[in-house]
Structure 1
Amino acid sequence: MWRSSSQTRIFSGGICVTRRGRRCHSTRQMGLGQAIPGAGGTLPTVKLCRFVLHAEPQTPRSGLYYEGRFYETDGEKAIGIHDTESAALLAPIILAPSVRVLETQPSGEGGVNWGYHFNNPTRMVGSNSEVELPEEMGALDVEARIALVISGRGQYVRPEEAHEFILGYAPTLFFRLPDEAESASAHGLPPSAANDVFWALGPVLTTPDELIENLGESLTDYSWQYRLRINGETLSEAETLQGPYGEALALASRFGPLMPGEVFAGPTLAHARGGGQSVRAGDTIELEVQKLGRLVVRLV
């Protein structure tokens, strides 16, 4: 395995991460237990986030959320402190260099085989977004997943080292055009166009040091308690163990380096598709994950 020796900023305004994928801020020392308005539920006190001020909505900012305030940073220190009433959350990263959507299949030895396909990074929206659908767009399928964001550059990453490259985790929703997928399949074409609509990430990034109680057998195994709701009605609610994500990072880094800001979306937690469950204009989709917050998307 090799790592880049340079520091990298992957947030506008700068959450600074070191070459070993560790932040310049120690969130563990700052404590836990504060609720974040607009993020849903009671979350650990410190979160990595991007936001805008209501008075300056055209200027994205980034930093930490801590004890009821947004601390705007330049990567190393706070350069502004803002109350929650004066700000609104954005998607927690600017633009991912790539988005890998992970899938698994059971192996004959009791384990799992990992694979992935790519999604369009430019189609990302944040929590509490209103997505305007074209008139010609029909029903959409939606998949609920957990995403991780890469913190540092590295290649030939071993599974047991992969946790050093994970900056944080967040709920994510992927939308798909079922009619387009069916048409592509009928013509022997890949379903890429069916996935090229939009996807959501947020509300904030939760760092691994805030998720110790969720760990499974390895440092990239996690237990997630989640709930997927459509228009306030619970479609799926469960607790599940996923991972080890380190296997997927090792696979991806065999052919080229992991890059800061890359997104890996874990296997599907739950979905809404077909049988009257597909979503359309007028629907509100919510994915709430314990300790990660609530991601909300409204279709208009």
Structure 2
Amino acid sequence: MRLLTFDVGGQTRLGAEHRGRIIDLQNAASLRELAQHGLSAANAVAERLPADTLAFLERGESALTAARETLGWIQDWPADIWYALDGQSAVIYREDQVRRRAPILRPPKIICLGLNYRDHAAESGMPVPKEPVLFSKYATSVIGPDEPIRLPTDSTEVDYEAELVFVIGKRGRYIPAAEAMAYVAGYMCGHDVSARDYQLRRGGGQWMAGKTFDTFAPMGPALVTADEIPDPNALALSCRVNGETLQNSSTREFVFTVAQVVSYLSGIMTLEPGDVVFTGTPPGVGFARRPPVLLQDGDVVEIEVERIGVLRNPVRADRRG
């Protein structure tokens, strides 16, 4: 499934992409229960299939099963029912009727890896790490598709970083690498926007300060469930700025695989549903180019990951006050 969070009619809802449309999963499931089992069953749907992505992930396999069954029921609709409801109901929406948000609006944790591609470590002038290099972002840095990345008023070196992001689907601690993939709910495109002057020089160099400005964690366009991506360590990914490809690589170049990262993280902290993990960026970042290529007001950045899609964000200068 391709899950998404969207705004419509003043509400934020959980949906799924289906046949070129966006399905409100909870409303669709309620309609199914009403048709098959009556009003009381329809009223009980919210407990099993919440309208919030984080709550959905916390329900685990039961929510995933309910969502899949709902989409399967819709798939069997006769054409006349589909067309009667298409864009005319609270069940099926066209893309232009909704506003996509980040699939998870406020993740419990945003964990990031540095230097997880050998070539990126080399272009950064740093050794390939012997264990994962970690830093974090805060939830206020999260934005979704087409929301603007805001250039800080006192940073002149804001850089792009295309990344694969994975999402934790169940609680775990001390997870063996051989079992780690069972804890991954799915994957998104991610953009680890970075203020290099803060990260590398200001205050002696502060990775967290350079990485967690507001809007510095775009994610989307959808959360693709793990069953649709059999090998996350073999995905093409790229970054385009104003249509020019500046990063083009594959997660085959990971230093640490997704399973290794899950296992390592779980030895440090309890992983919870909805935690997101940025897996590092490949070579081609702007500060390593000669001359440097840094983000400017008016730019448009596109992060593309195979099987997931394209995450597009404009860049805008921020304003104080």
TM-score range, shorter chain: 0.7 to 0.9
In the alignment, the residues of structure 2 paired with residue 111 and residue 132 of structure 1 have an alpha-carbon distance, to the nearest angstrom, of: 31
- Is the contact made by 1:101 and 1:116 (CA closer than 8 Å) also made in structure 2? yes
Greater share of helix residues, 1 or 2? 2
Give the partner amino acid of 2:20: G
C-alpha displacement at 1:231, in angstroms?
0.7
In the alignment, the residues of structure 2 paired with residue 188 and residue 211 of structure 1 have an alpha-carbon distance, to the nearest angstrom, of: 40
- 1:70 equivalent to 2:22? Answer yes
**Which residue of structure 2 aligns with residue 98 of structure 1?**
109
Output the TM-score relative to the length of structure 2.
0.68
C-alpha displacement at 1:134, in angstroms?
4.5
Q: What's the CA shift string for 1:125-153, capped at 9, x where partnerless?
A: 11111234344442301211100011111
**Which residue of structure 2 aligns with residue 85 of structure 1?**
96
**1:105/1:148 Cα in 2 relative to 1: closer, same or farther (>3 Å)?**
closer
**Which residue of structure 1 aligns with residue 272 of structure 2?**
259
**Which residue of structure 2 aligns with residue 286 of structure 1?**
302
In the alignment, the residues of structure 1 paired with residue 129 and residue 195 of structure 2 have an alpha-carbon distance, to the nearest angstrom, of: 31
- 1:110-129 aligned at under 5 Å gives the runs 113-129=131-147
**Which residue of structure 2 aligns with residue 39 of structure 1?**
none
Q: What's the CA shift string for 1:13-67, capped at 9, x where partnerless?
A: xxxxxxxxxxxxxxxxxxxxxxxxxxxxxxxxx30111123xx2x3111121111
- 1:18-167 aligned at under 5 Å gives the runs 46-53=1-8, 56=9, 58-74=10-26, 75=49, 76=66, 80-103=91-114, 104=116, 113-167=131-185
In the alignment, the residues of structure 1 paired with residue 147 and residue 159 of structure 2 have an alpha-carbon distance, to the nearest angstrom, of: 18
Give the partner amino acid of 1:265: F
Uncovered stretches (5+) of structure 1, i.e. residues with no partner: 1-45, 216-220
Give the partner amino acid of 1:260: P
In the alignment, the residues of structure 2 paired with residue 206 and residue 48 of structure 1 have an alpha-carbon distance, to the nearest angstrom, of: 6
C-alpha displacement at 1:85, in angstroms?
3.3
Deviates more, 1:280-289 or 1:73-82: 73-82
Identity across aligned pairs (percent)?
Answer: 24
Deviates more, 1:227-236 or 1:133-142: 133-142
Give the partner amino acid of 1:194: G
Runs of 4+ in 1 over 4 A off after TM superposition: none
Greater share of strand residues, 1 or 2? 1
Q: What's the CA shift string for 1:143-170, capped at 9, x where partnerless?
A: 1110001111111111111111111111
- Is the contact made by 1:272 and 1:279 (CA closer than 8 Å) also made in structure 2? no
Give the partner amino acid of 2:270: P
In the alignment, the residues of structure 1 paired with residue 168 and residue 245 of structure 2 have an alpha-carbon distance, to the nearest angstrom, of: 31
Give the partner amino acid of 2:148: E
**Which residue of structure 2 aligns with residue 13 of structure 1?**
none
- 1:213-224 aligned at under 5 Å gives the runs 215=231, 222-224=233-235
C-alpha displacement at 1:72, in angstroms?
1.3
**1:136/1:257 Cα in 2 relative to 1: closer, same or farther (>3 Å)?**
closer
Instruction: Give the secondary structure class of the aligned counterpart of 1:226.
Output: strand
In the alignment, the residues of structure 1 paired with residue 315 and residue 129 of structure 2 have an alpha-carbon distance, to the nearest angstrom, of: 38
In the alignment, the residues of structure 2 paired with residue 135 and residue 105 of structure 1 have an alpha-carbon distance, to the nearest angstrom, of: 31
Larger Rg: 2
- Is the contact made by 2:162 and 2:247 (CA closer than 8 Å) also made in structure 1? no
In the alignment, the residues of structure 2 paired with residue 240 and residue 147 of structure 1 have an alpha-carbon distance, to the nearest angstrom, of: 11
